[in-house]
Chain A
């Protein structure tokens, strides 16, 4: 693993599988009376949020606290950032306080990359979502959810998603979740199909390692998992699609459409859902929908990432960790 987690594309297959396996162990901590590990005692992690995102922030915060890190929440609202202080100055202020890692959410694509590569700070940088670029921990928790549901909790250890057919539906153009998922799922061997109206696909999507379709109905029977992306109502005003009704009719997931999916197939959503837009209440509340699981898995994944980035020594940064204490085989 690299020192930072900026993009899902930076992860090798082995990195990704290691994170998923580690998260599987982290998940077991949640079942214990004391949901806490001493692993990051004495380490300080800042959650630097330039964009409102209560869900992601509390997920990281829970993960950090379960690993006993000292947590500082820094929200750009009401801080000196809104008074014109630059990202660089903010970062250097945090560095001066002796921060070991910065979890950053920023509206500008590339802000975490800049933070990690501009020499402003020494801390580890974890991207918690930047503009329309990347959201790697979301992709990891999605892959974790898929592996559990499609391969199995224990059977999945050490495994990737080879040959699984994953369909992402909705506003790909503005979605960092879609970008991260395409990168990671491809690395994990899955076959990805993007389904969206042509207006909500970026120019250049043809070079991505995935299929593209405009037709949801023909894709559903060939999907092991269908991930619905949020579609913001504002997009309507910028002529990305005519009306909410037309969008739902062509690209929304309702009970009838869900029935066309294979029996084992799951429905995913990164949240927050826009019920009635991309997903009906019937689908959102069904057993096949993993939204709530995804939230729980988010904490495990973020614990795994924090542990693997911060839990070890600083002076060695091999591409893979030291010899594993066991192979997946043993745990069957």
Chain B
């Protein structure tokens, strides 16, 4: 088996150390390690993190291979420093049966860029009426533990309650897309000063917050854990904070774009800023950063949502919602959390690797960088700063809101169980 020596890397942002990989495993971490028989990667002060884990990705396969496939999506993941992604269920057909989830899981294995852990639909066809065969998906080769109707909210309180209860049998978790459907009919952007001016249908914060409030109370009542997808408002933060203080088993994620962008950008009517949940206000952005720093929000998840060019090159109302995120997530987190002093790199590892792996029960991922652990690693040049160029994306889609924007940090190497998937910024 091949050996790799990563020399002089700041492990989790600490003092420079050498890390020796032998086969699929980290065998030694220390200083002055022997390079004998090993390929040497000079880290030169770059930061070494555990391979990132994304609890919220849309890979689009099967059904919308024109926007992304498991292959292109996992290559994008490797480019962004990820070694494990959770693929959302809103494909065509919907990932609501063991057959579909196994197919997606197997494609990820075959391509070998990044482990793919399928998320199963909570309800058949994401229609919110009838529970999908959650147990069968869990027992399949894919071993599904996270269930979500993402893109749609499990709005029926009884269905939500049953799902929360049912997955307890196999330690699963329901990831809720919190969006009260009646309050968001025709909604196009955050409801507030900007929507009033632009004449775009308002998406009130309360549509998210009311569902989160209900779900944490339901989780408390039935003693289940619940995960909140892409939390986007200051009010949601307050509810989750309160729930955690009560000991309710709730976890929450925030997307990179909700940490950086505000609804002011919608003034351009450029649909690249159209996303669900919508970009909120400056006040929300600051509350989300603070909550991610203090642990109220547990993790960063990308909500990587690829769309073909034509679905964004149109008028706002006709455009699809979503942004790609895998290849820019770490840069945005560095910009908003690390460079602002809110979080150190150990904190980033916690929120982008350890904790998401724990929530999703992903075995072999989100492990410490220490001897005996699987060699899932990513090396980041944190001193880099430059403009985002979508032309260089590995994703099949280019719908990034950051085109041309200067961001810090660049992932140069990624290893998946000892195998390099990204070397010097190039996919292998």
Contacts and interface: CB of A to CB of B under 8 A. Distances in A.
Given A113-B269, A114-B269, A204-B191, A108 B196 contact: no
Nearest to B316: A110
B316 A109 contact: yes
A52 B201 CA distance: 21
Given A203-B191, A207-B193, A133 B315 contact: no
B150 to A, nearest CB: 26
For the side of the interface on B, what is the size category?
A: 20 to 34
A133 B315 CA distance: 13
Interface string A89-113: 0000000000000000011111101
A205 B200 CA distance: 13
A50 B398 CA distance: 29
Given A109-B200, A110-B200, A203 B195 contact: yes
Contacts of A133: 198-200
Contacts of B198: 109-110, 133
Given A109-B199, A110-B200, A114-B269, A204 B315 contact: no
A208 B316 contact: no
A269 B425 CA distance: 63
B236 to A, nearest CB: 18
Contacts of A203: 191-192, 195-196, 202, 204
Interface in A222-249: none
B1 interface: no
B313 interface: yes
A113 B267 CA distance: 10
B310 A108 contact: no
Contacts of A132: 199-200
A271 B268 CA distance: 30
Nearest to B269: A110
Given A110-B198, A110-B269, A114-B269, A204 B193 contact: yes
Contact of A108 (B192, B194, B197, B318): B318
A176 B316 CA distance: 17
A117 B315 CA distance: 11
Contacts of A208: 196-197
A131 interface: yes
| Residue of B188, B204, B313, B315 contacting most chain A CB atoms (<10 Å) | B315
Contacts of A205: 196
Given A108-B317, A110-B315, A179-B199, 15 more contacts: A86-B313, A86-B314, A87-B315, A87-B318, A88-B314, A107-B317, A109-B198, A109-B200, A110-B199, A110-B316, A133-B198, A133-B199, A203-B192, A204-B194, A207-B196
Interface of B: 188, 191-200, 202, 204, 268-270, 310, 313-318
User: 8 closest pairs, A vs B, by CB?
Assistant: A204-B196, A133-B199, A110-B269, A132-B199, A108-B317, A202-B196, A204-B193, A109-B199
